[in-house]
Amino acid sequence: MQPQALADGLLLLSHPPVYTLGQGASLEHLRFDPTDPAYELHRVERGGEVTYHGPGQWVGYALMDLRRHQQDLHWYLRQLEAVLMTTLGEFGLKGERLAGLTGVWVEGCKVAAIGIRATRWITWNGFALNVNPDLRAFEAIVPCGIRDRPVGCLADFIPHVCMSQVEPILAAAFAAQFDCTLKAVNLAQWLGEADGLG
């Protein structure tokens, strides 16, 4: 596939319960035996430590050609944080960055994690925004290797918020931040078109 042939895009997915380890992640941040079949665990190609994905969480896979934007991964991380902060702002919540850490917090609780990978300035992976997941799943790990900061979700602050409310706002914030137009597509169709480019 020719990387430049694929338009910038965002896949918003909700996963079944799974724990993922970034490339350099340490098993010491697991609070369970990694061979225990009760836990779905995968090492993935993003940066960062261990995290949890599951129902009630939007996982955004940003497929971007940074040559069309800025060839700077730190800039890109800050842009993803801005997308998440804008989304939270639409719900009346103040998302914050914490010095030296990646992600977005509300009142000291981490509500969004970011883990990226890029090859030849083409990105994949991206972020996870906790809308209304079962936060007990995070108790099995040290999320993102951060021991002294709790994990939270939008539902902690907006009790009846649901995934379908957040999806269009999150997509619009992404489109505005990266000055791109998003359209809803069938994932299988999109993947078929991408395969056909090469």
- Which 3 state secondary structure label does DSSP give 53? strand
CB atoms within 10 A of CB 11: 15
What does the block give as tokens for 190?
């999109």
- Which 3 state secondary structure label does DSSP give 82? helix
Closest CA to 136 of 43, 31, 47: 31
Active site residues: 144
3-state per-residue secondary structure call for 136-180: HHHHHECHHHCCCCCECCHHHCCCCCCHHHHHHHHHHHHHHHCCC
Distance CA 163, CA 95 (A): 18
Distance CA 18, CA 150 (A): 19
60 within 8 A of 87, measured Cβ to Cβ: no
